[in-house]
Structure 1
Amino acid sequence: MGSPEIREVEAFLALAEELHFRRAGERLHISQSRISQLLRTMESRVGARLVERTSRRVRLTPLGEMLFADLRPAYNSLQTALDTARTTARGVGGLLRIGFQGTVNDHVMKAIALFQNRHPECTTEIVEIPFSDPFGPLQRHEVDTAVVLLPVEEDDLVLGQVFSKQPQALAVSVHHRFASHASLTAEDLAECPLISVRGAAPEYWRRAQAPSLTPGDRVIPAGPLVSTLQEGLALVAADRGAMLLCHPTAEYYGRRDIIFVPLTGLEDSFLGLVWRRSHETARVRAFSQALAAAGATIDGPPH
């Protein structure tokens, strides 16, 4: 038999990921029996079983696992090529949804204005994304690209422009003993519980925003967990813990019951423009270029 048709590939990939015939069918908007039919055709083309099904479970055979590992990136590349071709055929028109955490800084607003001047046929939509879930909206297709706090280590995301290198400050209550200090060092964090992020954010990202050890390997006490920046600031004001913030964010959220004390000895914070590897479009590339042209970038990502 010849090469498989695209629908057979899609059925196999859906079944390999769902390991359930009904859910695979619902995902592709076809019947469970159609999934079975497409799978049988695919197995006939290959010449061997790809899926084992019992009354209790569905699982891939070793050959099925090998085929899935090879097919998924190839299918993603095909979809990206088709999306790029469609976008190119339409130009940079349509809608670009830009996610952001916290506040949209001047660099990003300048880039949006430049992008809109260059591509008036494209509408931009600015979407706030949860502080506790920086990458989820991208992975759920709720935004096309996003400006997030680094680091980014997700395999399915591309890190584009890196910008807004900023020193960090420690947000403390006006009643905290650190409030009278002109500055602090990273080792001082061992004497102050740090408020950290709960939720879907990866562990490495949460640790970057609220480390558990000082550079000198002293333990930093764990403070309360929060889902939003506003929750964190409220707990800071109540003297329940402290928070690490970059200077622009500290200035934007300045309030009378919180002091932002400059901190030395920690790496600066950075923002990065990220997007899904499998959903890169001409619009996303054009916005990344506008961000670079707006003068917001630095010399490469931090390591």
Structure 2
Amino acid sequence: MLERLELEAFLTLAEELHFGRTAERLHVTTSRISQTIKRLERRVGADLFVRNSRSVTLTEVGKQLREDLLPAYEQIGLGIAQAIAFGRGVTIKGVLRVGWSAPWCGNLMVRAAEVFRLRHPESEVEFEIGEVQLCDPLGGMREGRVDVQLTEFPIAEPDITTGRLVFSEPRSLMVPADHPFAFRESVSMEDLADAVLVTLADERIPRYWMDRYFPRRTPSGRPIPQGPATNFWPEVLVHVASGTGVSTVAARAEHFHARPGLTFVPFRDAPPIEYGLMWPTAGRNPLLPPFLEVVEELASAPGP
């Protein structure tokens, strides 16, 4: 029989593929996560993860164990949420339209929608088709297609209200596999002056947001060569893989977008990417407060 920490440590590490982030989510030390996984591997009799200085990946045994355990674990969580909904006896009606900017944001919002539907069965949560596009991060809210969105901070617009920071992610530099940076253990923000940075077609993107994630100068003031301006994330992947340039990304992007031709090198000095909730200031959806409560509850809870 698995102990609770063994179960949560394994499933969280299988999702994060990073011991430090797993420890943060479970509110324990990194060494305790490492010890717990080693103990579980001894019980199983096989390695569950392959570890090296730059990455953590699941073994075939680990993938199978995750596939077997995760549905049961999620069912337990949904059962508890359903009991809470019945206990509160709260009934609200309506439709809430939700958007997000990255797969890891989408994972959280989908889980929040599942819990929200159980607590408020007469309400519905709809998802904006696809991810919010890089070239127009605020358009969905301004056009009335999105009631709440989980995306990158900072956003300081008079018609958009921002909530609390939900989580943050360390940054990496995505480079072609044969790029000189690909063979380093880490890179610095100053190194961007020696690379071509793939950028965005930024007519609808606030300049302060662009300067945070697609800067024109290094911290010391050196100019950063600007590469092709893209509209969609798949274009960024194609440009980098073909050797046209490099791009700053969340470190977690490697888990979702790794492919031949791409290498992800961690930054040692870049500020983290911060993600928060935001919504149109005018005409706030009445379902928004209870949904925000669910998102913040799940974001602060241990486990996947």
Give TM-score, length-normalised by structure 1.
Answer: 0.65
Contact kept in structure 2, 1:98 and 1:143, CA below 8 Å: yes
Shift of 1:105: 4.2
1:239 to 243, 256, 259: 243
Residue 122 of structure 1 is matched in structure 2 by 123
Answer whether contact 2:100 2:150 (CA < 8 A) is retained.
Answer: yes
Matching residue of 2:201: 198
CA contact 1:161–1:291 (8 Å) conserved in 2: no
Shift of 1:206: 1.9
- Residue number in structure 1 paired with 2:223: 219
Give secondary structure in 2 for the equivalent of 1:282. coil
> Structure 1 residue 196: deviation in Å?
1.2
User: In 1, distance between residues paired with 2:174 and 2:284?
Assistant: 37
Contact 2:100–2:106 under 8 Å retained in 1 = no
SS of corresponding position for 1:251? helix
Number of matched pairs:
208
- Which of the residues 244, 258, 261 maps onto 2:262? 258
Identity fraction in percent: 27
2:160 pairs with 1:162: no
Bigger Cα Rg? 1
Does structure 2 retain, via aligned residues, the 8 Å contact 1:215–1:265?
Answer: no
Alpha-carbon spacing, 1:139–1:122, altered in 2? closer, same or farther (3 Å): same
The code of the aligned residue for 1:134 comes to P
2:272 to 268, 272, 275: 268
> What is the deviation of 1:106?
3.5
Mapped to 1, the partners of 2:102 and 2:297 lie a distance apart of 23
C-alpha distance in structure 1 between counterparts of 2:163 and 2:114, whole Å: 19
Distance across 2 between alignment mates of 1:296 and 1:230:
31
Q: Which residue of 2 aligns with 1:171?
A: 174
1:188 aligns with 2:191: yes
Q: CA RMSD in A?
A: 1.8
Looking at structure 1, the residues matched to 252 and 141 of structure 2 have their Cα atoms a distance apart, in angstroms, of: 25
The 2-side partners of 1:271 and 1:92 are apart by: 28
> Would you say the 8 A contact 1:193–1:223 is kept in 2?
yes
* Alignment of structure 1 residues 125-136 onto 2, 5 Å: 125-127=126-128, 128-136=131-139
Q: Alpha-carbon deviation of 1:161? A: 3.1
Counterpart mapping for 1:1-40 below 5 A: none
Structure 1 residues 244 and 296: alpha-carbon distance in aligned structure 2, compared to 1, 3 A threshold: farther
Match of 1:286 in 2: 290
The 8 Å contact of residues 194 and 223 in structure 1, kept in 2 or not, is answered as yes
Structure 2 residue aligned with 1:207, among 207, 211, 216?
Answer: 211
Aligned position for 2:144: 141
The one-letter code sitting in structure 1 at the alignment partner of 2:251 is H
Separation in structure 1 between the aligned mates of residue 100 and residue 289 of structure 2, nearest angstrom: 17
Structure 1: runs of 5+ lacking an equivalent: 1-89, 298-303
TM-score (norm 2): 0.65
Q: Is the 8 A contact 2:96 2:285 kept in 1?
A: no
How far the C-alpha of 1:204 sits from its partner, in A, is: 1.7
**Could you tell me how far apart the structure 1 residues matched to 2:180 and 2:133 are?**
31
Equivalence for 1:10: none
3-state SS of 2:95 partner: strand
> Cα distance, 1:108 vs. partner?
2.7
Q: Tell me the alpha carbon deviations over residues 45-90 of structure 1, each in whole angstroms, 9 at most, x when there is no partner.
A: xxxxxxxxxxxxxxxxxxxxxxxxxxxxxxxxxxxxxxxxxxxxx9
Shift of 1:247: 1.3
